[in-house]
Amino acid sequence: DPHASPSAAAAAPAAAAVPELFGWEFATDPYPAYAWLREHAPVRWTELPSGVGAWLVTRYADARETLADARLSKNPAHHAGESRAKGRTGIPGERGADLMTHLLNIDPPDHTRLRRLVSTAFTPRRVAAFAPRVQELTDRFVDGFAAAGEADLIHDFAFPLPIYAICDLLGVPAEDQDDFRDWAGMMIRHGGGPRGGVARSVKRMRAYLVELIHRKRGDLGDDLISGLIRASDHGEHLTENEAAAMAFILLFAGFETTVNLIGNGVHTLLRHPAQRAALQDALARGDTALLETGVEELLRYDGPVELATWRYATEETVVGGQRIGAGDPVLVVLAAADRDPARFDAPDTVDLARRDNPHLGYGHGIHYCLGAPLARLEARIALATLLTRLPDLRMAVDPEELRWRGGLIMRGLRTLPVAFTPRAPQGE
Ligand code: HEM
């Protein structure tokens, strides 16, 4: 590897002992490999399937510190292997589509300015006011399969819900939302795979957003895109390109993550019947406390974001006792940190009532997930609605048959076939 640094060679333990990363078994259950890394090589130079090398950080304490370390830049220009890695934020096709100026690719002071501007529009209050609409969408998708007695919870539920929700929130007109669903489907199916169709989808989406922003400028409403256009801070506004990149990152960061939070979450509940029963009992009593701690626990136990997005050392630095060269990429493995026994009691046990749960599923520091309030809202409504309306929901295949996407940044199921006693759609 032309990028291997001397410090990298020293850090790599004997090859025979290293569990296989990024293979088939790993995609199904990466946690044993992460336990090995935490124990034996907590900051380890690793060649990724793409051929690019990066440091994997797997211990909780190191992960938390690394996420908040200002010497680690989000700007891919700092990557020593820059020509090969440009635009590697995990977002397929973004480079060609010129969407580089979004939050996950920039550092202060630009990041501070853009994040402050978007925060004046994407407020917790706006999200809270959106709850009835999320409930309506959730019921509509459950209505779509309730009478059938079976469904693929990814295709029929977890996939469409977040994309239509975020389109609504942004203010994408109803007649255009099916296009977004198709573009998003392209990106999720081929993320990490063939790039041609993905790049085309991203280009179309961007062209559409630029056009929409242009149109809304002349006719502001109370949607989030209008909010982004209106947003100002000390006389500063988002440029049209920044607003388009912002709308795009909101769509992109908020889409597959939420699909996987619902998918992985239901999967975990179906495989832990006692926990699921306790949650169902609590919901039947109208008690939502367990739902709230439960969604956090599902995020910790098997969250949607396996690795935080890319960071690059701007100077030589030390992480967890390991020297990191200037220009080296660093990947924080959130999924490994959130199972660290040094921080969590019984980390491999699902405990929906877990109180002491400062998980890193939404990241940490200045890039902490901007959409966390929306993600929590969608997950709570989706899980509560499924368990309440389809109380005998069960998996329709042997868990061994389930297939995971095996992407690098995200962790999620391809399909989740379920069965249940057929119910009449609501309102009939
Ligand atoms: C950032 C996770 C949903 C928008 C992040 C980061 C994580 C994360 C780990 C930090 C990445 C890093 O530091 O490298 C999640 C999870 C979600 C979710 C687990 C769902 C369960 C959403 C939603 C939205 C959203 C619904 C928006 C609608 C963003 C944005 C950032 C971000 C804009 C970048 C913030 C910044 O750089 O300042 N998210 N996210 N996310 N997320 Fe989320």
The pLDDT tens digits for 13-32 are 444 467 888 888 899 999 99
pLDDT class for 98, splitting at 50, 70, 90? low
Which tokens go with 330?
């660093």
The ligand 1 atom nearest the CA atom of 378: 26
> What's the CA-to-centroid distance between 252 and ligand 1, angstroms?
9
Q: What pLDDT shows up at residue 411?
A: 94
The lowest-confidence range among 2-6, 261-265, 397-401, 403-407 is 2-6
Query: Tens digits of per-residue pLDDT, 290-345?
Result: 999 999 999 999 999 999 999 999 999 999 999 999 999 999 999 999 999 999 99
- Using the atom order of ligand 1, give the atom closest to the CA of residue 115: 38
Is 257 a pocket residue for ligand 1 (Cβ < 6 Å)? Answer: yes
pLDDT band at 83, cuts 50/70/90? very low
Ligand 1 atom, smallest distance to 376 CA? 21
pLDDT bucket at 4, cuts 50 / 70 / 90: very low
Q: Give the relative orientation of helices 177-190 and 160-170 as an angle to the nearest 10 degrees.
A: 130
Q: What's the rounded Cα separation, in Å, for the pair 330 and 143? A: 44
**Upper half-sphere CA count for residue 41 (Cβ side, 13 Å):** 20
pLDDT, residue 196, reads 61
Q: Is the CB of 115 under 6 A from ligand 1?
A: yes
CA of 305 to the centre of ligand 1 (A): 9
For ligand 1, whether the C-beta of 361 sits within 6 Å is yes
Ligand 1 contacts CB of residue 158 (under 6 A): no
Cβ of 53 below 6 Å from ligand 1? no
Residue 66 Cβ inside 6 Å of ligand 1? The answer reads: no
Residue 93 CB–ligand 1 contact under 6 Å: no
Look at residue 427 in the predicted model and tell me its pLDDT.
61
Of 119-128, 130-139, 195-204, least confident by mean pLDDT is 195-204
CB-based contact 344:66 (threshold 8 Å): no
CA of 196 to the centre of ligand 1 (A): 25
Higher-confidence residue of 279 and 75: namely: 279
Q: How far apart are CA 276 and CA 351, in angstroms?
A: 10
Note the pLDDT of residue 116.
93
**Ligand 1 mean position to 370 CA, how many Å?**
6
Crossing angle of helices 240-271 and 160-170, rounded to 10°: 150
Whether residue 370 has its Cβ less than 6 Å from ligand 1: yes
For residue 198, the model assigns a pLDDT of 77
Q: Is the ipTM of this complex over 0.95?
A: yes
Amino acid 294 reads: G
- Asked if 231 and 121 touch (Cβ cutoff 8 Å), the reply is yes
pLDDT band of residue 109 (cuts 50, 70, 90) is very high
Distance 362 CA to ligand 1 centre (A): 6
Mean pLDDT of 45-51: 89
| 304 pocket-lining for ligand 1 (C-beta < 6 Å) | yes
Region 74-97 average pLDDT: 59
Phi, psi of 324 (to 5 degrees): -115, 125
How far, in Å, is the centroid of ligand 1 from the Cα of 127?
A: 15
Residues 6+ apart with CB under 8 A from 234: none
Q: Which residues contact 296 (CB under 8 A, 6 or more apart)?
A: 354, 357, 359, 361
Residue of 369, 376, 381, 409 best suited for mutating to test ligand 1, as the one with most atoms within 8 Å of CB: 369
Nearest-angstrom CA–CA distance, 143 and 324 = 53
Q: What is the 3-state secondary structure (H, E, C) of the chain?
A: CCCCCHHHHHHCCCHHHCCCCCCHHHHHCCHHHHHHHHHHCCEEEEECCCCCEEEEECCHHHHHHHHCCCCEECCHHHCCCHHHHCCCCCCCCCCCCCCCCCHHHCCCCHHHHHHHHHHHHCCHHHHHHCHHHHHHHHHHHHHHHHCCCEEEHHHHHHCHHHHHHHHHHHCCCHHHHHHHHHHHHHHHHHCCCCCHHHHHHHHHHHHHHHHHHHHHHCCCCCCHHHHHHHCEECCEECCHHHHHHHHHHHHHHHHHHHHHHHHHHHHHHHHCHHHHHHHHHHHHCCCCHHHHHHHHHHHHHHCCECCCCCEEECCCEEECCEEECCCCEEEECHHHHCCCCCCCCCCCCCCCCCCCCCCCCCCCHHHCCCCHHHHHHHHHHHHHHHHHHCCCCEECCCHHHCCECCCCCECCECCCEEECCCCCCCCC
Model confidence, pTM:
0.91
With tokens 């793409």, the residue in question is 50
**Cβ of 375 less than 6 Å from ligand 1:** yes
Asked if pLDDT for residue 283 goes beyond 70, the answer is yes
Burial zone of 87 (CB within 10 Å; 0-12 exposed, 13-18 middle, 19+ buried): middle
The per-residue pLDDT for 414 is 94
**How many angstroms is it from 166 CA to the middle of ligand 1?**
13
Q: How many residues does the chain have?
A: 428
Q: What is the pLDDT of residues 200-234, one digit of tens each?
A: 888 888 889 989 999 998 899 999 999 999 887 77
Dist. CA 154 → ligand 1 center (Å) = 20
Say which residues have a Cβ less than 8 Å from residue 17's Cβ, sequence separation at least 6: 40
254 Cα to the center of ligand 1, angstroms? 7
Asked if 270 and 276 touch (Cβ cutoff 8 Å), the reply is yes
The Å distance, Cα 388 to ligand 1 centre, comes to 28
Q: Which residues contact 136 (CB under 8 A, 6 or more apart)?
A: none
How large is the average pLDDT for residues 195-203?
73
Owner of token pair 């993600």: 375
Which pLDDT score, from 0 to 100, does residue 9 have?
46
pLDDT tens for residues 152-169?
A: 999 999 999 999 999 999
pLDDT of residue 239: 83
Give pLDDT, residue 190.
59
Mean pLDDT value of segment 358-374: 97
Q: Which positions ≥6 away from 250 have C-beta within 8 Å?
A: 122, 166, 170, 224, 370, 371
